[in-house]
Structure 1
Amino acid sequence: MAVVVVTDSSSCPDSELAQRYGIHVVPLHVLVGDRTFREGVDDLPDDYNDGTSSTSAASSGELDDCYRTALAASDGDGVVAVHLSRQLSGTWQVGSQVAEPFDEQVRVVDSRAAGMGSGFCALAAARAAQAGASIDDVYNAAVDTAGHARCFVVVDRLDHLRRGGRISTATALLGTALAMKPLLHIVDGKLVLKEKTRTTSKAIAKLIDAAVKEAGAGPAAIAVQHLDAPERADEVAAKLRDRLPHLTELVICELGAVLGVHVGSGAVAVLVVRGGAGQVEP
């Protein structure tokens, strides 16, 4: 068979792509009141994103089941599990502990990213696996892509991120006081402030400029993600397409519920992988 790639639901893998490359997806959880919902599996209530919900990592049992199923599907060739940044979730840590008894047959990768930043790492690994690469090479494909992935995000409000502990209270209060529209980015796996602007339009322009600079003049893979802001995402994608003629792929998709709880409605993110995310089928 071939090495099988696992990722978590926060990486927002397109269902068609996940099926094409045989990627196994383990759900993270959205906590609404006293109820727990599995992202991508359970139907969420309409008001899940009202600012009071929270999220939790996949459990050790869920990860163990997923890794075992994936290992069986690989006929022993092995599993590479790509998870969102350990600085943003406990999933990587739990996965690493679960993987220990598998004696290197299950390798766990910290994508140091979120959303399609993680998703591109999983795709690069799965594309290598589909081409017949060994577990070492599949693992290295994910790690290399993680090293080239950059995530930028504009949010309408910082409240959700502050409540979830994903950004400091001081930054959130500064944004509220100045009506700031921040451009955030992920550095060393942590979400931090990159630039401050006074309007959403200026923040979006900064977002596009940052993505173009990061992509450079060569090939690059880009994802534009949003939460309840499809027109804004389409506008960003169109401008990136015009300014970056050497894109290997451009994905436009909605952020999942787990990330949506933290960024809030209106958020737009751009994920960039300089050099691309593995070989793309024509």
Structure 2
Amino acid sequence: MAKRRTRFPGGVAVVTDSTASLSPQDAEDEGVEVVPLSVIVGADTLVEGVDADADLIASALRDFVPVSTSRPNPEEFAQVYRRLVDEGAKAIVSVHLSSRMSGTVDAAILAGRDVSVPVTVVDSRQVGVATGFATGIAARARGSKVKAGKVATLAREAGEASTTLIYVDTLEYLRRGGRVGAAAALIGSALAVKPLLTIRDGLVVPLEKVRTAGKAIARMETLAAEAAEQHASYDIGVQHLANEPVATQLAERLAKRLERETVPVDEVGAVIGAHVGPGTVAVTVTPRPV
């Protein structure tokens, strides 16, 4: 008989938020609890992963319907943490998107103060699948000889070491959501260039100005490959919003270049999609601990 998997290896529960781009199956396989953010579309508040997806957001943005996002409140986190304690967790590591882009980390910290077991909140300083990769590393690190502090450290280090490259058709959506950070310097010339962005110190910042979309994607491929080749083992993924053909072609070229069987391609979640807009393509490389 196969040995039953422990609910919380080492007594540690791992939590993340819906921007980490973990599918329900991936979250179940890794033993990760996902707390959803919300998207406000017009007058409707929708829950990411429940009644809001990227296709709906892309359509709303194209139709100029107002779209904004909302973090979970502390009580929503507290309810999840308390349930995990009731289910046997002795410690909780909660890994989330950059605190410089969202108040999600702050909400998790506040919630953790009212829980009967230690709660360590990790600011991944990243967003999207980079946060998901860091969360997966944390989940897999758990064990009888691995304390929660070490689990949190590995997640934090994974986020810090990640390379995230983002192509957007326009900076307008990032500007509207206030997430553009230093990339605002490119706004005035957005019509003349195709922005290539990255995540640095928890913020979206400009990386390079490229004249055409094709050149931007080609440059992103080169930079992603160079980042991956620096590590013996790594996770890599391509994400997009309403730009599957370009994302798929990029993933196929990266797989061939890096001699991997495949590079996964996924559509971004509703929350990230609301800020980057249709046409976005992103690549993330996260080294694994050795």
TM-score (norm 1): 0.90
Unaligned runs of 5+ in 2: 1-7
Equivalent AA in structure 1 for residue 102 of structure 2: S
Deviation at 1:205, TM superposition (A): 0.8
Q: Distance in 1 between matches of 2:136 and 2:49?
A: 18
Amino acid at match of 2:190: G
In structure 1, the residue corresponding to 2:60 is in which secondary structure? coil
Q: Does 1:201 align with 2:194?
A: no
| Contact 1:71–1:77 (8 Å) recurs in 2 | yes
Alignment RMSD (CA, Å): 2.1
Gap regions ≥5 residues in structure 1: none
Q: Could you say which residue in structure 2 is the equivalent of 1:112?
A: 125
- 1:71-110 equivalence runs, <5 A: 71-73=85-87, 75-102=88-115, 105-110=118-123
Cα 1:102–1:191 shift into 2, 3 Å: same
State which of 6, 14, 17 in structure 2 corresponds to 1:5. 14
- Cα deviation, residue 130, structure 1: 6.0
Contact 2:52 2:270 in 1 (8 A): no
The residue type equivalent to 1:48 in the other structure is: A
Match of 2:71 in 1: 57
Q: Report the equivalent of 1:48.
A: 60
Give TM-score, length-normalised by structure 2. Answer: 0.87
Number of residue equivalences: 273
Q: 1:15 aligns with which of 3, 6, 24?
A: 24
Counterpart Cα distance in 2 of 1:33 and 1:148: 37
Identity among equivalent positions (%) equals 37
One of 171, 186, 200 as aligned partner of 1:171? 186
SS of match in other structure, 1:48: helix
Measure how far apart 1:175 and its partner are.
1.0
State which drifts further: 123-132 or 259-268. 123-132
Supply the distance in 2 between the matched residues of 1:147 and 1:78 (Cα, whole angstroms).
Answer: 23
Contact (CA 8 Å) 2:90, 2:117: kept in 1 or not?
no
Relative to structure 2, which stretch is displaced further, 256-265 or 36-45?
Answer: 36-45
Residue of structure 1 in register with 2:82 after alignment: 68
Deviation at 1:219, TM superposition (A): 2.1
The equivalent residue for 2:277 is 264
> Aligned partners of 1:69, 1:190: CA distance in 2, in Å?
33
Aligned to 1:146, which of 143, 159, 167?
159
